[in-house]
Structure formats: C-alpha cells, structure tokens
Amino acid sequence: MSFLTNFIEHLKDFRSQDRHPKPVRDWFLLLSVAAALAGLSVGWNVWSYYELAASTSKDHQVGKAPTFTVPAVEAVETAFSKREEEAARYRDTYRFVDPSL
C-alpha cells in the first residue's frame, strides 16, 4: 500500500511543477511514449507473423487434391446459369420507365 501512496504523492509533486512549463521535457515524454507504443506494435506484429507462419492449419493437407461430387458441381452450374438468364432478361425483356423524364 505504501507504493500506491508514494506514487500518488509523486503525481501531486509532478503536477505542482507545471507552474514552470518545460516544453522540451514534454515533447521528449510525448515522443518517447509514441516511440515505445510504435515499437510494441511492430514487435507484436512480427511475433504474430512468425507464430502464424510456423503454425499449420488443421484443414490444410499437403499433396491431397480436393474432391468434388458431380451433383454439387451441377448444382453450382445450374445456379449460375439461372443467374445469367435473369441478367439477360434485365437487359432485354424487362422495361423500366424513368420517372424523371
């Protein structure tokens, strides 16, 4: 508990010194904190990158090609052909009147 009270007293002393501003000290403190935060960010990102690069995915299997079933591929082709037919209808069949004319 004495650490906390000493720290609070130190903060009070620090605030009382503001009667004589010291811009060099203030800028140094600001830039030091900014540099420390930037360094921590870079360090965290480098560590995360190496951890991710070293890990292997559970879903990733080397050397094994994915298998597709014929009905699944046909269902996808059918969906895309229906979508293309509807797009053609919007271009050719459907007529829209512009209300601003």
Tokens standing for 8? 């609070």
Tokens standing for 100? 């601003």
Amino acid at 90: Y
Amino acid at 22: K
pTM, two decimals, is 0.40
pLDDT by residue for the chain (101 residues), tens digit each? 687 888 777 767 665 555 677 889 889 999 999 999 999 999 999 999 998 888 766 655 566 777 788 898 999 999 999 999 999 999 899 888 878 87
